[in-house]
């Protein structure tokens, strides 16, 4: 990871952590984030049940909060439903949020 890339990762993670405040719901299992050279940030939301309208509003709000920190970037969101019996796929570069116990299998 280059020095500039390290700064970028820190900025993205700080922004998403701030944006996620008050947006974590009980059925949200994890949030992953990725970014690329074409100035796009992608947020992946993983739920253990179908997302509700309120959940979608929260996802949009997180993206809007991040857009303030990264006005030159496109912010895309994707959401997935993974029942508790299924492992979450690694789609993003890093986890911004993971419910307790979600990452245990990744380290055993």
| pTM of this structure | 0.89
Q: How confident is the model over 24-81, as pLDDT tens digits?
A: 999 999 999 999 877 899 999 999 999 999 999 999 999 999 999 999 999 999 999 9
Answer for the pair 12, 31: CB distance below 8 angstroms, yes or no.
Answer: no
* Domains located in the chain, CATH noted: 3-107 (3.30.70)
Tell me if 34 sits within 8 A of 44, measured CB to CB: yes
* Res 107: pLDDT: 43
**pLDDT given for residue 108 in this prediction:** 38
Environment class of 50 (CB within 10 Å of its CB; exposed 0-12, middle 13-18, buried 19+): exposed
State residue 29's pLDDT score.
95
25/54 Cα distance (integer angstroms): 10
Of the two residues 25 and 103, the one the predictor is more confident about is 25
């Amino acid at each position: 990871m280059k020095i500039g890339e390290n700064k970028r990762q820190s900025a993205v993670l700080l922004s998403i952590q701030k944006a996620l405040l008050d947006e974590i719901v009980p059925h949200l299992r994890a949030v992953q984030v990725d970014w690329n050279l074409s100035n796009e940030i992608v947020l992946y939301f993983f739920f253990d049940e179908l997302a509700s309208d309120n959940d979608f509003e929260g996802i949009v709000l997180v993206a809007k909060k991040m857009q303030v920190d990264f006005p030159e970037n496109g912010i895309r969101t994707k959401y997935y439903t993974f029942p508790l019996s299924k492992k979450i796929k690694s789609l993003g570069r890093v986890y911004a949020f993971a419910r307790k116990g979600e990452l245990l299998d990744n380290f055993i």
